[in-house]
Chains A and B, each alone.
Chain A
């Protein structure tokens, strides 16, 4: 029995970065709760991910390893996750606030007759229970909550927690979980991968993002050029995505991707709270917006109050020159 069980993810057989962060958080919480750390993995070809989970802090790994589980599927994953939780009986279960976690956690909580708190960005222990801090109201507010039922299930935002340094000398046991494939009622029939060219959004050190104020889809080509000079990823506000100017997978914000780069350059984005919910954790935010009263400027280190069309070409040129030497 562990104090904290992490439900990890291992797409393509590799432990995800978020899973390692959750194991780091679980290690810190378990120390205060006075117990151990376990990790559940559900997927296909998990042996190296299971080793990676041990190196990342798990003392026990439960691996439900089967080719039919290579892709996430609600009806297959929920019962396996529930079986592992019931076998381990942890005090708390941490799950990533990812596409998978969003889908899995509510059903898992209901199945185990307990509660779930979504999208925690900070975790602490008080009176032997976990206190989770989470953004709400589109990022306008934060609440601190405690779950009074057991186990306490919490989804945790990517990059909000620090992973431990991976240590291959850590020892842990790996328990295989029996998998009995079932024909699902809801079957995945296809996948359309939206390839973002260049740097992936969620891990980028620099993000250049565009909003409705760009006025036209073609302006994203100019942002892409600037991004290639900076080695940056390109993101977009929901308004820009809703207009069809950029793919939804590149949307930054509450219902899109949460990014926390060292530099977030927002071009013609007003800075609505739901957008800031996705980029407010950036080290430095810089905006180009012609309205000096735009909300984004409340979060900016630097701002250029101008029509972006007049600023982007000389900015791209200046940065290209600067970054050449």
Chain B
């Protein structure tokens, strides 16, 4: 059971909301002091899913693939430390400031170059821009079946059984391989690499590819190829003022709240 997991490095999405700032002029996020770049959480869960599938199948190669600047190498290393075998990093200025389309194009070329595995895994969405597009686009570009937003995956002798999270419950789906799967948080916590594994991963090589290595025209990727143009980036204003309910005891506060809700015609 061979798999490729696409992982993105992002600013830690668990940072406190109060630390979040944007620079409206350059339309970029201001990295607050002390906040780290991390592997996007759904992507770590996708690596976990790949490792579990391999365990179930008994053997296989897990590759981790990331497109991003120099620092994105750490996201690949995180996947290797979790137990993946090979790392690939698409790193070149021409890849920068792309959109879902240019990312999907570059990743699909890299996947073809690595060799199509049984399973391609993605996060349900990158927890920075929250798009949720790249997995589906790669599936389409490579003409593969896709099943999205999964809480579980199972290896069934060359086929894959999954449980999808849908609005009113769960759907069981059985798919042939090769296929594209996108993983949601319901999958459960990914394993956390131990120090020894981090040291081992540090020694592993990560293959770096440029657009030329993938046979992509630089005008098709990055800012040059992007089809979504950002006009503005801002933090929405919030002018709500909370009124804390007074009272001598919790019960009095509860009663006062009930009265306030009625007076304000909220109930």
Contact = CB atoms under 8 A, between A and B. Distances in A.
Answer whether A and B are interacting partners: yes
Interface of A: 74-75, 78, 98-99, 102-103, 105-107, 109-111, 114-119, 131, 135-138, 140-149, 184-194, 202, 206, 230, 238, 241-242, 248-249, 254-255, 257, 262-263, 271-274, 276, 283-286, 292, 295, 297-307, 310-315, 317-319, 322-323
Given A106-B100, A141-B235, A191-B171, A302 B136 contact: no
A138 B13 contact: yes
A248 B150 CA distance: 12
Contacts of A78: 140
B133 interface: yes
B165 interface: yes
Given A286-B261, A319-B267, A193 B133 contact: no
B191 interface: no
5 contacts: A188-B173, A189-B173, A295-B16, A304-B253, A315-B255
A315 B257 contact: yes
Contacts of A257: 167
Given A145-B229, A248-B151, A192 B260 contact: no
Contacts of A317: 254
A219 B141 CA distance: 48
A238 B41 CA distance: 14
Contacts of B261: 263, 286, 302, 319
Contacts of A297: 242, 244
A315 B247 CA distance: 13
What's the dominant secondary structure at chain A's contact region? mixed
Contact of A310 (B136, B148, B179, B250): B250
A135 to B, nearest CB: 7
A75 B233 CA distance: 35
Interface stretch (B112-120, B123-131, B193-201): B123-131
Nearest to B229: A146
A103 B22 CA distance: 30
Interface of B: 13-14, 16-18, 20, 22, 27, 29, 99-101, 104, 124-125, 127-137, 139-141, 145-149, 151, 161, 163, 165-176, 179, 184-186, 227-236, 238, 240, 242-245, 250-251, 253-255, 257-262, 264, 266-267
Contacts of B134: 106
Contact of A138 (B130, B172, B231, B260): B130
Contact of B145 (A136, A184, A285, A305): A184
Nearest to B126: A136
A225 to B, nearest CB: 14
A323 B267 contact: yes
Closest 4 CB pairs between A and B?
A106-B136, A110-B140, A310-B250, A186-B175
